[in-house]
Structure 1
Amino acid sequence: MATQAMTRIYDRLLEQVLFRRTLQRWQRIASRAETADVSVLRRLHGPARQLRSELDRLLRVADGRLAQAESGARAIRRPPMSDWAWRPEIWRAPVTPGGIAPAEPRSAIGSEATLFHDCPAREVTLRQIRNAGADDLPPYGLKLDVLRFEGSFLSLVIELPPAAVDGLTLHHIVRLDAALEVETPRKIFVRLNLKHGPNTEQVVHGVAPADGALVAEFDLAHTKMNEKRLERAWIDLIFEKPEMNQFVLRDVTLSRRARAEM
């Protein structure tokens, strides 16, 4: 045991020495960059970008996990008997880009969500924000600001992970829960899309948020989904008459449960 403890201490000391040397090397390189030969800069540019990419990846994961630990972000209020529950990355970890202004007709934010619209003026902005309310479970939220809007649709598409469709059957109910703040109340349409083979089943619910809560349930027994060919699923949040309005999604979670048979 003493030998193992000494080995661990030695490894930590070696890591600290290597870190200091590496840090000092890059500090020297950075301090000389203004006067360095172009050929030297060209040779160092690739390794520097690769190092920054890995450091950025580490920081994104670390920031997200630390924020979760601080706020209890792992907690999801799932309905009884749920066999799957999930919170998209926008609400649980920092995403890239963290904001879009103005939003193009198709604008991805993070790896799971995309904003779609057809407004030629493009007076639409989208931004990830930090939640600070006492009742907020996740560390992050999403703010959507719309000024002049002359298009026919504005929707946020959230791609569901493979676990959402693994074992999904016609006996399941899929549920979306969201905490939403709106300047001017508007109905929001929630659409569940299920791709099975060459076909896509779509189920739409129009929901008027009540007391900041947005809930939509989809009973798959009423669909023609082919369980054996199910490939992927995604959710559309469609904002009706969004002009001159602000929407803040403090939380979004999805879950599924087996329907109680009579």
Structure 2
Amino acid sequence: MTAHNDLATRWTRQARKLGRIAREIEMDGGVRLASRSQRPTGMPDDAEILHRPSILAIRQTPGGHVSPPSGAQLAADVSLHHDMNPPRIVTRQIQRDEGHHDFALDIWNTQGSFMSLALALPSEQMAKIAREDLIRLDYTIELEQRCDVFARLNLVHGPNTEQVVRQLDLRNQGDVLEFDVHYTAFDPTRAREIWIDLIFNTRPLNRVVVRDLVISRRPRLSL
């Protein structure tokens, strides 16, 4: 009887311990989810958040790169492209709080004209894009030296690629722009890849800090 009671006590303690661990995991997951799905100020109520690049939402290993070649994969959904030779670039992820990071790029560029970040949309979110959608980019970016920055939406369907280019307004560091899918020949039933290129016409010396980027969609008929 005593052995039975001891066994029951041990199982009760183990169950309580597992319960605490489960609650901690659930709370941690809730914090991460809340941070990742946080809506930027001013986002319309009918806009659905599709993606926040993982370099801003998830701790990366390694957290930085020195002289990365063009095409370097900085995260599963982010790659770096440039025409610099040699590539005098240093990238670094800077944690602000749980599930929210800044991403900094220091550029010492003697040759070359551009640097870009390719931000890929996950396949499960890509499938939600329709012809009557507006693709929205909310951004907060700081530049040490002002330069032209463009965003290019790439819609790959079958063998074809539709592209829409917009210039970012960085006078207030943060703003929003939208791409109208309706005015492209994009066929959602043949969608293969969707990504946004963030293109910087870099100056010889510059520091870029990306504080937030959120890609979302909403029906254009709601305008």
Q: TM-score range by the shorter chain?
A: 0.7 to 0.9
Letter in 2 for 1:219: D
Instruction: Give structure 2 stretches of 5+ with no counterpart.
Output: 19-24
Structure 1 residue matching 2:131: 3-state secondary structure: coil
Q: Which residue of 2 aligns with 1:139?
A: 100
Q: Which residue of 1 aligns with 2:172?
A: 211
TM-score after normalising by structure 2: 0.81
Structure 2 residue matching 1:90: 3-state secondary structure: helix
Assess, with a 3 A threshold, how the Cα gap between structure 1 residues 156 and 7 changes in structure 2: closer, same or farther: same
- Name the count of aligned residue pairs: 208
Q: Which residue of 2 aligns with 1:153?
A: 114
Q: Which residue of 2 aligns with 1:183?
A: 144
Q: Which residue of 1 aligns with 2:201?
A: 240
- Do the aligned partners of 2:113 and 2:201 also contact (CA within 8 Å) in 1? no
Deviation by residue 1:173-207 (Cα, 9 ceiling, x = unmatched): 00111111111122211011111001111111112
Q: 2:46 aligns with which of 81, 86, 93?
A: 81
Structure 2 residue matching 1:131: 3-state secondary structure: strand
Instruction: Determine the C-alpha separation between the residues in 2 that align with 1:13 and 1:185.
Output: 54
Assess, with a 3 A threshold, how the Cα gap between structure 1 residues 128 and 219 changes in structure 2: closer, same or farther: same
- Do the aligned partners of 1:123 and 1:146 also contact (CA within 8 Å) in 2? yes
Letter in 2 for 1:9: R
Assess, with a 3 A threshold, how the Cα gap between structure 1 residues 10 and 226 changes in structure 2: closer, same or farther: closer
Q: Which residue of 2 aligns with 1:108?
A: 73
Q: Which has the higher strand share?
A: 2
Q: 1:95 and 2:60 equivalent?
A: yes
Q: Which has the higher helix share?
A: 1
Q: 1:120 and 2:85 equivalent?
A: yes
Assess, with a 3 A threshold, how the Cα gap between structure 1 residues 9 and 104 changes in structure 2: closer, same or farther: same
TM-score after normalising by structure 1: 0.70
Assess, with a 3 A threshold, how the Cα gap between structure 1 residues 214 and 242 changes in structure 2: closer, same or farther: farther
Q: Which residue of 2 aligns with 1:29?
A: none
Assess, with a 3 A threshold, how the Cα gap between structure 1 residues 140 and 67 changes in structure 2: closer, same or farther: farther
- Do the aligned partners of 1:96 and 1:109 also contact (CA within 8 Å) in 2? no
Structure 1 residue matching 2:44: 3-state secondary structure: coil
Q: 1:258 and 2:223 equivalent?
A: no
- Do the aligned partners of 1:122 and 1:149 also contact (CA within 8 Å) in 2? no
Structure 2 residue matching 1:228: 3-state secondary structure: helix
Higher relative contact order (CA 8 A, sep 6+): 2
Assess, with a 3 A threshold, how the Cα gap between structure 1 residues 228 and 145 changes in structure 2: closer, same or farther: same
Instruction: Give structure 1 stretches of 5+ with no counterpart.
Output: 15-61
